[in-house]
Structure 1
Amino acid sequence: MWKRRAKRWLLFLRRLQLEIGYDDCMGMAAQIAYYLMLALFPFLLFLLSLISFLPDLKPDDVLRSLSEALPAEAFDLVAGTVHAVLSGREGGILGLGLLAALWSASMGVGALITTINRAYNIHPRRNIAVQKVLAMALTLALSGIVILSTLMVLLGPRLSHQLFQFLGLAGDSQAVWNAVRLPVVVLLNLGGFSILYFFAPEAKQRYVWILPGAVTATVLWFGASQLFRLFVREFGSYNVMYGSIAAVIILLVYLWLSGFIFLLGAEINALMRRKDHYEDLPRVKGRVRKRAHT
């Protein structure tokens, strides 16, 4: 029994490898990274401007939480650029930053939607206007999750302390928050992946079908972020190769890696869905194109 299961999973992994190549996931991840790069700084400026309306919170608090995900060189680039813009900003940066971030990010989400439909073997039937509205809606939803995650990280200690006081509980509220912070952020990220994988493809599907890819992408993204930071710190030679633009290259590579993980989760869901619809997994030799049920 275990040999048969192992063989099926090996076939699944082999087919996944082929699908990644056929759908040009690496190339599409580069396109996504480009648009994410364009959206990153306007979105951060919008987020920092929004944070300034909250009491006892400073832009450095947001940047400090960002440092936990980005490699050191990439974080220095982002923080330095944001500080330079904030020091000379004018009124209206909140609205302009939001518009610029939404436009750039929606282009990246549009590339995600295209590739996800390709993974599902679906030829898009939505017209351009509907596709753009969907991309903007998903961008707003994902942006809301990012903002909520940031606020949870920043306001979590204070909220947990106030909750302890309200309930009359004794103990260290900070220790409790430190224990639940990571699971909360992971669940929020899982929710973001689930929204993307559920609404992006033009296919009727159940929520349970998107969970394998969403869980895999969430775990891989957190793990890859930490491993990439470690690699850049311990083994990276970007400064020697690229000189003054090393930080830009590192940030682009990180965004490309993130985009690839997003697409990998979609490919997993598409294959699992086909495996659920058909008795046998298609043969590895040659790509058997079967249109997904819609």
Structure 2
Amino acid sequence: MPSSRTTSAYTPLQLPPRAMLSALWRVKSLMTDNYANMVAASIAFYGLLAIFPAIAALISIWGLVSDPLEVQQQIQAMNGIVPQEAVSIISQQAIKVSTNPQAGMSVTAIGGLLFTLYSASKGVRGFMAGLNIIYGEQEHRGLIHQALINVTLTLGLVLSTIITLAAIALVPAIIGYLPFGDLLSSIMLYARWPLMLMLVLFAIALLYRFAPDRRAARWQWLTPGALAATLLWLLGSAGFSIYVRNFSSYNETYGSIGAVVILLMWFWLSAYIVLLGAGINREFERETSTDTTVGAERPMGDRKAYAADTTASQDAAEKSSAG
């Protein structure tokens, strides 16, 4: 699809439909040309390394205030969103840890938490590199600056994960102790899922804003990709669950490690979708000549962000003149 004429939209909602379609058409080539699938694979690897010590640490911490078995019981609530085999392997690990007579906070649990932070930081570093690639940026930040951003985003990611898991495990337990009627209890149980999706959307938007080495985009120019990534992640996870349950042969092919492969594939799918959302943001920005970055309005070329300093129509004109 040919590129649309550059607009002067101040928000993505002001882009005409043709400009939006043009931007979405370019995202496919953007993802392929920049090997987004390989970047997502490296992020998924560190996600897999982090998940099991994270479970051990969570259950150990939870064991200080309640029965650790409650966590693994509530993990089953993720069925339908996360592939059943992935839920099963997470649940089995949770059972193994929770039935350990030393399941409370220990040196092992602390070590698991530290390893979780280390692996998660590697995944975040992968996102930083991947988002630089997608946004067309080079990394120029100093090591200390990179480390500070990495630590901040990692802690935010871990905190978001803990809140999400707590919402899965804690809310039913809390409701059980409160004198609510059946209707109100049901509403509260279902309400946690939209709230969790809002948390996912916010976490993705934070990645888009602070991970790449560019002048940050305004929130309205981060929203389309974050919203698309959240919805695609939900639909993609559900679709992958259905595929694994009904059509795949992972267990026959990989045997006893089939569930681990499925979990790794789900991590890869999730990481790829986050990168895809960044690609949508980039190409939407390139459909307007208006400054999309934070702060005072700057002329094109002085915005310190490739997506804000260039437009798709400029690229088309350059290719036309070169031809």
Pair 1:123-2:138 in alignment: yes
Distance, in Å, in 2 between the alignment partners of 1:119 and 1:248 is 28
Instruction: Report the counterpart of residue 282 of structure 2 in structure 1.
Output: 270
Question: 263, 280, 286: which is aligned to 1:251?
Answer: 263
Q: How far off is 1:156 after superposition? A: 2.4
Question: 223, 240, 251: which is aligned to 1:239?
Answer: 251
Which amino acid is 2:121 matched to? S
Please say if residues 65 and 150 of structure 1, whose CA atoms lie closer than 8 Å, have aligned partners that are also in contact. no
Please say if residues 110 and 132 of structure 1, whose CA atoms lie closer than 8 Å, have aligned partners that are also in contact. no
Instruction: Report the counterpart of residue 10 of structure 2 in structure 1.
Output: none
Give the share of equivalent positions with the same residue, in percent: 31
Which amino acid is 2:135 matched to? Y
Please say if residues 164 and 173 of structure 1, whose CA atoms lie closer than 8 Å, have aligned partners that are also in contact. no
Instruction: Report the counterpart of residue 89 of structure 2 in structure 1.
Output: 77
Distance, in Å, in 2 between the alignment partners of 1:246 and 1:56 is 30
Please say if residues 15 and 284 of structure 1, whose CA atoms lie closer than 8 Å, have aligned partners that are also in contact. no
Which amino acid is 2:271 matched to? G
Deviations 1:2-41 (A, max 9, x none): xx85543442222101111122110000001111011111
Question: 234, 240, 263: which is aligned to 1:228?
Answer: 240
Instruction: Report the counterpart of residue 44 of structure 1 in structure 2.
Output: 55
Instruction: Report the counterpart of residue 303 of structure 2 in structure 1.
Output: none
Distance, in Å, in 1 between the alignment partners of 2:236 and 2:94 is 25
- Over 3 Å counting, the alpha-carbon distance change for 1:182 and 1:24 in structure 2 is same
Pair 1:144-2:159 in alignment: yes
Deviations 1:65-121 (A, max 9, x none): 444532122222233344345555863122111110011111111011111112222
Distance, in Å, in 1 between the alignment partners of 2:316 and 2:289 is 20
Please say if residues 210 and 216 of structure 2, whose CA atoms lie closer than 8 Å, have aligned partners that are also in contact. no
Q: Which moved more, 1:100-109 or 1:237-246?
A: 237-246
Which amino acid is 1:43 matched to? A
More helix by share: 1
Distance, in Å, in 2 between the alignment partners of 1:155 and 1:82 is 15
- Over 3 Å counting, the alpha-carbon distance change for 1:156 and 1:286 in structure 2 is farther
Which amino acid is 2:114 matched to? L
- Over 3 Å counting, the alpha-carbon distance change for 1:285 and 1:78 in structure 2 is farther
What does 1:196-215 correspond to in 2, within 5 Å? Answer: 196-202=207-213, 203-215=215-227
- Over 3 Å counting, the alpha-carbon distance change for 1:89 and 1:265 in structure 2 is farther
Distance, in Å, in 2 between the alignment partners of 1:77 and 1:129 is 37
Instruction: Report the counterpart of residue 123 of structure 2 in structure 1.
Output: 108
Distance, in Å, in 2 between the alignment partners of 1:98 and 1:16 is 37
Please say if residues 50 and 115 of structure 2, whose CA atoms lie closer than 8 Å, have aligned partners that are also in contact. yes
Q: How far off is 1:136 after superposition? A: 1.9
Instruction: Report the counterpart of residue 174 of structure 1 in structure 2.
Output: 185
Instruction: Report the counterpart of residue 291 of structure 1 in structure 2.
Output: none
Q: How far off is 1:153 after superposition? A: 2.7
Q: Where does the alignment leave 5 or more consecutive residues of structure 2 unmatched?
A: 5-15, 291-309
Distance, in Å, in 1 between the alignment partners of 2:101 and 2:145 is 35
TM-score w.r.t. the length of structure 2 is 0.78
User: What is the root-mean-square deviation in Å for CA atoms of aligned residues?
Assistant: 2.7
- Over 3 Å counting, the alpha-carbon distance change for 1:260 and 1:128 in structure 2 is same
- Over 3 Å counting, the alpha-carbon distance change for 1:238 and 1:208 in structure 2 is same
- Over 3 Å counting, the alpha-carbon distance change for 1:179 and 1:80 in structure 2 is closer
Distance, in Å, in 1 between the alignment partners of 2:175 and 2:28 is 45
Distance, in Å, in 2 between the alignment partners of 1:80 and 1:102 is 22
Which amino acid is 1:281 matched to? A
Aligned residues: 281
Q: Where does the alignment leave 5 or more consecutive residues of structure 1 unmatched?
A: 289-294
Question: 107, 111, 131: which is aligned to 1:96?
Answer: 111
